[in-house]
Amino acid sequence: MDPLGARSQFVDIQTLPTWQQQFGEDVGGMVQEQSDSLLSQQAFPSPFPFRPDINRKIMLFAGDIALLNCTAIVNTSNESLNDKNPVSESIHQLAGPELRDELLKLKGCRTGEAKLTKGFNLASRFIIHTVGPKFKTKYRTAAESSLYSCYRNIMQLAAEQSMASVGLCVVSTTKRGYPLEDATHIAFRTVRRFLENYGNSIEAVVFAVSETEESMYKKLLPLYYPRSEEEERFCLPLIPADIGNSEGEPVVPERQIRIAEKPGTLEDDSEEDNLDSDLGQVGNHAFARMEGDVDKQRKLILQGQMSEAAMQKQHLRNYNRWLCRARAEDLSDIAALKALYQTGVDICGRTVMVVVGRNIPVNLIDLEKALLYFIHVMDHITVKEYVMVYFHTLTAEHNQLNSDFLKNLYDIVDAKYKKNLKAFHFVHPTFRSKFSTWFFTTFSVSGIKDKVRYLDSLQQLFTCIKPEEIDIPPFVLEYDIRVNGPYHPAHSSGL
């Protein structure tokens, strides 16, 4: 970084005009081209109605995405995460060499997926890496689905990590051959649907484009984000026929094959109305999962006749089923609790995951969805060493997960969760919680007891995790000051 204050080059997104504020600017003359006679024929509502609350979250930025000070920015790359394109090269140049080292630990990224790293020297705290599809006309449908998955997984990750803002580049690079206009339609409708359904916690989405991409984005933005009811009516005839499903995902009618449980029986024509409900059953039976005789396998385990390798394989298969469910299910209501999130690293460079006990309304949430959310968030974290910080601060009886749930979670998760967990910091414990934890780690699970460390103050926590590396809920800070007094950084340096 330039020692003469190069950070001034970073762009504060608070200074960028929102899409709603840009109303009245020239958007390519598109609106004026629509005739009154055509508009008068439109009697059906727009699938993307005027929503000023969403428009205020949208920004268009023509410039280098690496300069944005969003909570996270998006890097578009290849499966090995070493692609050299203008977006990626700029991000690497400003982030510094630590980013390349961090990407090596991720061991690549599959097309359509999204993975998270720190922002290092960037103004943004995180970088979300994703891999767009290669476009071939012959495989257009697959490319559309993969590109949708890129944007959906980016937004899902941003919501799960409680990110306030995210900067989105054009995911599909020129060398991958995806037509810009087609890709822009998918990007806009996917983000729009996500903000409608799950975007309450996201305050800003910045579409970062180059000068050559800017005109296309300005042309198509009003279709999905009309800034007035009049603009909504003008843009309605220009919205493409294919707008995906309620999530913006491409719909492929020929894939909606009906599979009946008893295909040999004759069915009444009236059952055609139940097509949607039948589709929901596809893949839910043992044949579709191709697992073999599950009952026989369980019987062998109980009788001690299954080898250790076979048992590990069965356990991994069971975990992968949970992981697939976690990736497919809407878990935004659990994410909104902000009870589990990733923060910085400890003094050993290990990822820190935070659990906030008071934010878990055990009696009000679906505990199975909570388990799915834990797996969804933790799966990519646990591939390397990590630590957990549990804030028991002001946790009441109705916030505490029972031992049966915790035992079930421990039995389901993959071996990497247990192997790579290096420390469990239990902050502000009570005598009762200490006894419960001792009992649980002694008689219910193995291998965790020696990793638990009870901390009565944040100052003890800061000896292993620097204050700037961990996001601590305000009520925890207030409680610690009230009980232990203000924290003095100068005193901790000598510990």
What would the pLDDT profile of 176-228 be if each residue is shown by its tens digit? 889 999 999 999 999 999 999 998 889 999 999 999 999 999 999 999 999 99
pLDDT at 491 over 80: no
> Quick one: 305 exposed, middle or buried, by C-beta within 10 A (0-12, 13-18, 19+)?
exposed
Assessment of whether the complete model's pTM goes beyond 0.75: no
Greatest CA separation for the chain: 80
- Report the distance separating Cα 381 and Cα 116, nearest Å: 9
Strand order across the 351-356 sheet:
340-345, 351-356, 386-391, 421-427, 452-455
Q: What is the pLDDT of residue 151?
A: 97
Give residue-wise pLDDT tens across range 271-280.
Answer: 444 444 444 4
- Report the distance separating Cα 67 and Cα 455, nearest Å: 39
Q: Are 392 and 433 in contact (CB under 8 A)?
A: yes
Ordered by where they begin, the domains of the chain are 6-238 (3.40.220.10), 332-492 (3.40.525.10)
Nearest residue to 217 via CA among 155, 168, 144, 285: 168
| Mean pLDDT value across the chain | 82
Q: What is the pLDDT of residue 199?
A: 87
- Report the distance separating Cα 55 and Cα 22, nearest Å: 10
Q: What is the pLDDT of residue 300?
A: 56
List, as one string, the DSSP characters of 5-62. TGGGGSB-GGGSPBTTTTTTS--SSTGGGS-HHHHHT--S--SS---HHHHTTEEEEE
Q: What is the pLDDT of residue 253?
A: 54
For 459: left if phi > 0, alpha if psi spans -120 to 50, otherwise beta; the answer is alpha
pLDDT at 266 over 80: no
Give residue-wise pLDDT tens across range 107-158.
Answer: 899 999 999 999 999 999 999 999 999 998 888 888 999 999 999 999 999 9
Cβ-proximal residues to 339 (8 Å cutoff; 6+ apart), any chain: 355, 356, 357, 359, 360
For 403: left if phi > 0, alpha if psi spans -120 to 50, otherwise beta; the answer is alpha
- Report the distance separating Cα 319 and Cα 415, nearest Å: 10
CA distances in angstroms from 379 to 146, 246, 320, 413, listed in the order given: 21, 27, 10, 9
Q: What is the pLDDT of residue 302?
A: 53
CA distances in angstroms from 4 to 9, 98, 120, 216, listed in the order given: 11, 22, 19, 37
Helix ranges, 114-210 (H): 140-160, 180-198
Q: What is the pLDDT of residue 39?
A: 44
pLDDT at 290 over 80: no
Q: Are 253 and 272 in contact (CB under 8 A)?
A: no
Q: Which tokens is 338 given?
A: 């902000």
Q: What is the pLDDT of residue 259?
A: 45
Give residue-wise pLDDT tens across range 2-14.
Answer: 444 444 588 999 9
State the Rg of the chain over Cα. Answer: 25
Render the burial of 427-446: b for 16+ CB within 10 Å, e for the rest. Answer: bbbeeebeeebeebbeeebe
Q: What is the pLDDT of residue 493?
A: 41
Task: Summarize the confidence of residues 337-362 as an average pLDDT.
Answer: 91
Task: Summarize the confidence of residues 459-486 as an average pLDDT.
Answer: 93
pLDDT band of residue 173 (cuts 50, 70, 90) is confident
Give CA 71 to chain center in angstroms: 13
Q: Which tokens is 76 given?
A: 């578009």
Determine which helix (DSSP H) or strand (DSSP E) holds 443, and give its type and residue range.
helix 431-443
